[in-house]
């Protein structure tokens, strides 16, 4: 299973790098427009629905990234179906790889724990900071529950500290100790937005795009603050899923509707 897992990392890196390069070649520069293109490229790769793919069809340079992204998402979901073993191993493997990479840096790491960061935001952050991010720093783990509590539980086990009251703050403390980090902060804007959207739907698709963009820009601002003096380690507990009903898009934690499921995506991004 780990061999297949390693191959999926190559697919992830190919997808993220290819999409970033394609956006530059297509001349998409304005940040909000770039995020929108990334969002719908990811959604087209994940769900294949016409509503998500029609804007991509207007930009032929995004066709190859969609194909690569579709392969990565299929492999990630296939791995998740193998149960908790691959999930635990993927978290452990990601932690070990991260630790080995950080040892090569002269700067100490600063950890940003991002609650709910999904694949579109991951690609956007890579694109923003690609000049100081090497491909080896693109990692991920599988969170089978697609929820914070699953990630907290599995991560605490992999770090050898099991307790009944695991929180993201506790996970941050464990990761800070493991990686010898300067400090950490927990950023909850995306997750809060997802919870709010489940009870109060976005009236327009553009409203959802702007809200997600503002949330990822807050993370980018934090990276800018800390990247001058530290190597920034961005870690997410899970992603989110989006479904479409009529002309409206709805954001969810893991749900049992359309598959594949982006909520499974637990990101790691090393910047600096």
Residue 197, pLDDT > 90, answer no
Q: What is the pLDDT of residue 256?
A: 61
Distance, in Å, from the CA atom of 149 to the CA atom of 166, rounded to the nearest integer, reads: 8
Q: Whole-number mean pLDDT of the chain? A: 89
161-175 pLDDT, tens digit per residue, is: 766 688 999 999 999
Sheet holding 138-142, edge to edge: 138-142, 265-271, 231-236, 109-114, 184-187
In the chain, where the domains are located: 2-271
Q: Angle at which helices 31-47 and 119-128 pack, to 10 degrees?
A: 140
Model-level pTM?
0.94
Q: What is the pLDDT of residue 255?
A: 64
Q: Is 149 exposed, middle or buried (0-12, 13-18, 19+ CB in 10 A)?
A: middle
Q: Is-cis flag, bond preceding 162, omega within 30?
A: no
Q: Which two tokens stand for residue 200?
A: 């109060």
Residue 51, pLDDT > 80, answer yes
Q: What is the DSSP string of 114-125?
A: ETT--HHHHHHH
Q: What is the pLDDT of residue 164?
A: 66
76-95 pLDDT, tens digit per residue, is: 988 888 766 677 788 889 99
Percent of the chain with pLDDT over 90: 61
End-to-end CA distance of the chain: 30
Residue 248, pLDDT > 80, answer no
Distance, in Å, from the CA atom of 147 to the CA atom of 179, rounded to the nearest integer, reads: 24
Give 108's DSSP letter. Answer: P
Average pLDDT over residues 24-53: 91
Percent of the chain with pLDDT over 70: 93
Q: What is the pLDDT of residue 27?
A: 81
Distance, in Å, from the CA atom of 250 to the CA atom of 185, rounded to the nearest integer, reads: 28
Check residues 110 and 149 and name the one with the higher pLDDT.
Answer: 110
């Amino acid at each position: 299973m780990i061999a297949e897992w390693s191959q999926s990392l190559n697919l992830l890196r190919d997808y993220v790098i290819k999409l970033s390069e394609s956006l530059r070649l297509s001349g998409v520069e304005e940040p909000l427009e770039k995020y929108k293109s990334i969002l719908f490229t990811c959604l087209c790769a994940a769900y294949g629905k016409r509503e998500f793919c029609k804007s991509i069809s207007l930009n032929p340079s995004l066709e190859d990234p969609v194909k690569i992204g579709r392969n990565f998402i299929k492999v990630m979901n296939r791995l998740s179906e193998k149960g908790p073993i691959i999930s635990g191993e993927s978290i452990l493997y990601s932690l070990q790889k991260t630790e080995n990479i950080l040892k090569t840096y002269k700067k100490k790491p600063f950890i940003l724990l991002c609650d709910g960061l999904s694949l579109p935001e991951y690609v956007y952050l890579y694109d923003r900071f690609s000049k100081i991010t090497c491909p080896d720093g693109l990692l991920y783990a599988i969170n089978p529950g697609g929820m914070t509590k699953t990630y907290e539980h599995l991560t605490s086990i992999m770090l050898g500290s099991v307790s009944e009251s695991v929180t993201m703050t506790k996970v941050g403390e464990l990761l800070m100790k493991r990686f010898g980090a300067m400090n950490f902060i927990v950023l909850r804007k995306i997750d809060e937005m997802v919870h709010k959207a489940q009870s109060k739907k976005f009236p327009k698709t553009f409203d959802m795009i702007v809200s997600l963009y503002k949330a990822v820009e807050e993370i980018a601002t934090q990276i800018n603050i800390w990247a001058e003096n530290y190597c920034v380690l961005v870690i997410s507990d899970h992603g989110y899923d989006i479904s479409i009903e009529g002309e409206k898009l709805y954001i969810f934690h893991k749900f049992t509707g359309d598959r594949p499921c982006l909520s499974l995506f637990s990101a790691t991004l090393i910047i600096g």
